[in-house]
Amino acid sequence: MSAFWSAWVTVITLAVIFGCAWLLFATRKGEKFKETTDQTVGHAFDGIEEFDNPLPQWWFYLFVATVIFGLGYLMLYPGLGNFKGLLGWTSTNQWEAEMQHAEEVYRPVFAKYAALSIEDLQKPEHEAGLKMGQRMFANNCSVCHGSAGTGAIGFPNLTDSDWLYGGNPATIKQTITHGRTGAMPPWGEVLGEDGVRDVASYVMTLSGQDAVAGTDIGNGERQFQALCTACHGADGEGMHALGAPNLTDDVWLYGSEFKNIAHTIRAGRAGVMPAQKDLLSEDKIHLIAAYVYSLSNK
């Protein structure tokens, strides 16, 4: 925060506090220790007059206490611009201390389950470990894959048997740990719009869908063999090593409609699964991997 805005915040904050204090004492009646008075506010409401009684003493002193508390708080903790407070407290330090405490408390629990293989964690007697993985999945992964792991447009469904990079325990754990970066290059300029439509129509036939009227399937197949087989294979069944999807099934990351497939071919796609190794410990990743593995192996 710049010096100007620091001074601005400080002045405004203190002005409000001292302004409230001044208002409190300025409106205090001369007979400040009397609980009642015969004076009225000077007007009536529906024939009812309101007495101009002062605040009860306990209420007045409570207001005074809040002013004193506010000033004391701002001396000890941050609140006046760049002034850090006499205690040097920060929310970051507080969070780090709480996380460190939680890590010390729960590390043995995570380590207990991390000592088991992902396959062993699928057994009924280790259900508690999977539930821990489920909760961590909800906190870290559900924003993209959904709370049930069923995915969304552009985000893989983790509950089926279709895996871009493979669905064995080791591969799942590697994906979570190091992340993945998928890149489908754009072919619009190479193919032209007619070529894009031809290839998209041919790709639809690979999964048993009908070709689109007005497209040249023969040309689409030739272009596919020339440009796409390096990743998707000659038969279109994909390649786990590259994360290239299988085009012959009914699982589509961005939709199976002609317009969606054509857009993918024309403009390409760029999918990123962020690495979690810098955010989560290896033991936590192990439990999340075990839970993800369980989703497609129920």
Nearest Cα residue to 273 out of 144, 153, 170, 148: 144
Burial of 101-134, coded b for 16+ CB within 10 Å and e otherwise, reads eeeeeeeeebeebbebebeebbeeeeeebbebbb
Tell me, what's the pLDDT at 30? Answer: 55
Residue 20, annotated as binding a ligand: no
Tell me, what's the pLDDT at 36? Answer: 63
- Contact present, 296 and 206 (Cβ < 8 Å): no
Please give the single-letter amino acid code of residue 133. G
Two tokens, residue 288 = 């999340």
Q: End-to-end CA distance of the chain, in Å?
A: 53
Nearest Cα residue to 140 out of 277, 296, 295, 253: 277
- CA-based R_g, the chain, Å: 33
Tell me, what's the pLDDT at 141? Answer: 96
Three-class secondary structure of residue 49 per DSSP: strand
Residue 240, annotated as binding a ligand: no
Residue 144, annotated as binding a ligand: yes
| Whole-number Å distance between alpha carbons of 232 and 222 | 14
Residue 232, annotated as binding a ligand: yes
| Whole-number Å distance between alpha carbons of 253 and 242 | 15
Residue 184, annotated as binding a ligand: yes
Three-class secondary structure of residue 148 per DSSP: coil
Nearest Cα residue to 164 out of 70, 47, 249: 249
| Whole-number Å distance between alpha carbons of 296 and 112 | 24
Which residues, including other chains, have CB under 8 Å from residue 237's CB and lie 6 or more apart?
246, 247, 248
Two tokens, residue 43 = 């007007």
10 Å CB burial of residue 155 (0-12, 13-18, 19+) is middle
Map out the domains of the chain with their CATH numbers.
3-76 (no CATH), 92-179+276-295 (1.10.760.10), 182-273 (1.10.760.10)
Q: 78-95, pLDDT tens digit by residue?
A: 999 999 999 989 999 999
Nearest Cα residue to 282 out of 179, 134, 177: 177
**Backbone CA torsion sign across 134, 140, 142, 147:** positive
Query: In order along the chain (298 residues), what is the average pLDDT of each group of 10 residues?
Result: 91 95 80 61 76 78 94 94 91 91 89 93 93 95 95 94 94 96 94 97 96 96 96 95 94 95 96 94 95 91
Q: What is each CA distance from 275 to 84, 179, 254, 258, 287, in whole angstroms?
A: 35, 4, 22, 32, 16
- Contact present, 236 and 246 (Cβ < 8 Å): yes
Q: 7-31, pLDDT tens digit by residue?
A: 999 999 999 999 999 988 887 765 5
CA-angle at 92, arms to 91 and 93, nearest 5°: 90
Using DSSP, how many helices (H) and how many strands (E) does the chain show?
11, 4
Nearest Cα residue to 116 out of 4, 12, 125: 125
Tell me, what's the pLDDT at 258? Answer: 96
